[in-house]
Structure 1
């Protein structure tokens, strides 16, 4: 079955996708959760990849992505509502951008028409030597100010896996993995040789607070995720790394008293000597916080979800929601009322698939449904979600048949709009 699907024409692939859309609409109709799914033509060029989604203050959805331009790459952004995507704007372009399938740029909305974007810029000759760069736009991406680096460290080490978290106004917090003490080629048995989790608050006038250490030993290359709760608490989740290479999910909280010490979301006990490149996701709304993540403890891959009703202080026993062969790469969206939506990637007889499910805190995932499939054997990357006025926007990288701009074959960014039904 898989070999036959891999040889399908683009027309045949589209037909299969339409069938999957019909299946997911039928499944969600039973739950009265999602009433329809619409394909939105993404305003991207051949070779586009690594989309990221966020929501503006007025309920539109921002997307950033990377695509080839000239002899290098460009980071671009666009804004969508139910009518489709706006004309894309270029955030930065150059031949010194660090482009990676797992460590990718983002853009968020602040107050008014102010946007903040981050990207990664090469700072040395080795494979993983790059800095985080951040820039602001005051006209929704048409023009961008002078970029700055949030980390004090200027060594030729890895700095990335960034989360930009908007505040109430034009202030925001940057959270990232920092390699100032991590030598990729050094002894991995040295507990001091480790990536760190760091954060920095950037005020509305651009003044930066201290570069703050949150955890001195983390996994080397898993995405971070963060949210501000209804009570104003900042919650950041990430994959930790013990001295014995247990790589489970931890959380830190920022209240009026400052940042907390790291605590575990759940104890999986996943022992793995290399980074799994598989970070957690967190969201919070209506007094409920939810974290989703991937683990392969005991060599059994699982996607798990845990809930907190005390502002992230503690979490209940995790629920397993996958269908038995997950690759992880999760995202989560907590609705103001109703269950959270979780997306993840799973291997199926049809190929690598993007699944979505509404997860109940008691019964878990009852109707997992496929919203995308890649029968080519190449990856869909890290699907992202954002909730807008018109529904849930979902984006992912999809393999295409145009191989000019990608060493493993062509890519394109795919976006859909899932409209929420009446509950």
Structure 2
């Protein structure tokens, strides 16, 4: 049985766990059969400007791996297209490729290219397509430090008709003293850096947004109605406090980062659990995981002033939170949040709509995973009145499921 043929079996169990009620904010759930191959994992979704949905993912390919993509139009997926295949791709459950489109029709995709023979040294690679992913241009490396070090956890955000912002975590100064030019005036830490790339392949100088961040948590970016850019990430202090911060770009100028909430989570290593941010008009929402005071929690905070300040957060988990959040604003007063919890020996993927002035009233169990692999980091994208959600799913065990044993599930909520 191929991984595609295993879909009906996977969703038989999934639909049995989803409570759908006429009064709930999430009114309906449907699944779509994505054109993924055996061993597919790490999906990332993106809403295209013309009303279609794009998904990128990785899967084994010959002796290496491939980053692939497909476009959903209506209820039908197009054929899978290969963005890149290589024996030296850096494939990681938490740091994965993405795809976006610009208003001028250009697609931009990013992935991570390993710097062999080093295990955890890799570069952000970006390529552009003007033909819906049928072909891709030359590779763009947004960081110009030319060091053999970690560059990853990137976010791509369209900011103009022909430009997009690229944000990433950068290890160029890690382990370097002040005699090393790239580390001058910066602490011995991971940095948050950014650059703007145009659809002709040119790009600006990369700049530091925060010179001391957590080392391996995802970044997230959005833009508010007035054009303010918001970047959420996990910060790090000299005392190893690793709370969530947001840095804003207002009228082209980057502001100083602000902590969303003083959780006070002191942890000596990276939790590999980044935040998610989204905006609608002047409103924005941030969701994140914390284990401050040894209490695991998924928290959500709203802003009504383009991300300048955030309200007191609320916890929405049920006591077994592992985080891996995503967030989607539905309008100026509601957000859809997804997160993962452990219940007994199973992972549970939850979804819930939350209002600015209310808690989570109608939590939904999207799936309960008892498989040999994790749902990893589920990701969302919105097309009109539907929100699509994709995650890595353990495939059915059997003689044909040996290769990494994963597939990708995609469902849509109608709200």
Q: Please, what TM-score do these two structures have when normalized by structure 1?
A: 0.90
Shift, 1:54, TM fit: 1.0
Instruction: Give the equivalent residue in structure 1 for 2:15.
Output: 18
- The answer to whether structure 1 residue 317 and structure 2 residue 309 are counterparts is no
> What is aligned with 2:323?
328
SS of equivalent to 1:298:
helix
For 1:201 and 1:50, how far apart are their aligned partners in 2?
A: 25
- In the aligned structure 2, how far is the partner of 1:130 from the partner of 1:350? 34
Any conservation in 1 of the 2:333–2:356 contact (CA below 8 Å)? Answer: no
Deviations 1:172-202 (A, max 9, x none): 0000000101249xxxxxx932110000011
Residue number in structure 2 paired with 1:212: 207
Map 1:16-415 to 2 at 5 A: 16-21=13-18, 23=19, 25-26=20-21, 29-31=22-24, 33-183=25-175, 192-349=187-344, 351-376=346-371, 378-389=373-384, 391-400=386-395, 401=397, 403-406=401-404, 410-415=405-410
Check conservation: 1:44, 1:412, Cα contact below 8 A.
yes
Work out whether residues 26 and 353 of structure 2, in 8 Å CA contact, stay in contact via their aligned partners in 1. no
- 8 Å Cα contact 1:344-1:356 kept in structure 2: yes
CA distance 1:376–1:241, shift in 2 (3 Å) = same
Q: What SS class does the counterpart of residue 34 from structure 2 fall into?
A: coil
* Partner SS, residue 364 of structure 1: coil
Verify the 8 A CA contact 1:81 1:389 in the aligned structure 2.
no
Contact 2:106 2:199 in 1 (8 A): no
Flag the 1:209–1:265 CA change in 2: closer, same or farther, 3 A: same
- 1:229-263 per-position Cα deviation (integer Å, ceiling 9, x unaligned): 10001100100010111000011111125111111
- What is the CA-CA distance between 1:384 and the residue it aligns to? 0.3
What is the alpha-carbon distance in structure 2 between the residues aligned to residue 211 and residue 199 of structure 1?
5
Distance in structure 1 (CA, Å) of the matches to 2:226 and 2:9: 49
Aligned to 1:405, the other structure's residue is in SS state: coil
Over residues 93-120 of structure 1, what are the superposed CA-to-partner deviations in whole Å (9 max), with x where a residue is unaligned? 0101000000000000112431000000
| Cα offset, 1:86, TM superposition | 1.3
Specify the SS of the correspondent of 1:57.
coil
Cα deviation 1:21-76 (Å, max 9, x = unaligned): 3x1x22xx313x33211111111001000000111112221110000111111001
Q: CA RMSD in A?
A: 1.8
Report if the CA contact (8 A) 1:133-1:147 is conserved: yes
Any idea what the Cα deviations from partners look like across 1:314-369, whole Å, max 9, x if unmatched? 00100111111111000000013551000001112471011000011222111111
- Is there any run of 5+ residues in structure 1 with no aligned partner, and where? 1-8, 185-190
- For 2:252 and 2:414, the matched residues in 1 are separated by 40
1:13–1:45 Cα change, 3 Å: closer
3-state DSSP of counterpart to 1:16: helix
- Stretches of structure 2 that go unaligned for 5 or more consecutive residues are 1-5, 177-185
Q: Quick one: distance in 2 between partners of 1:18 and 1:386?
A: 21
Task: Give the direction of change, closer, same or farther, for the CA distance of 1:228–1:98 in structure 2 (3 Å limit).
Answer: same
Verify the 8 A CA contact 1:163 1:225 in the aligned structure 2.
yes
SS in 2 for 1:328: strand
TM-score normalized with structure 2 length: 0.92
Q: Distance in 2 between matches of 1:137 and 1:289?
A: 30
Alpha-carbon distance, 1:390 to partner = 5.3
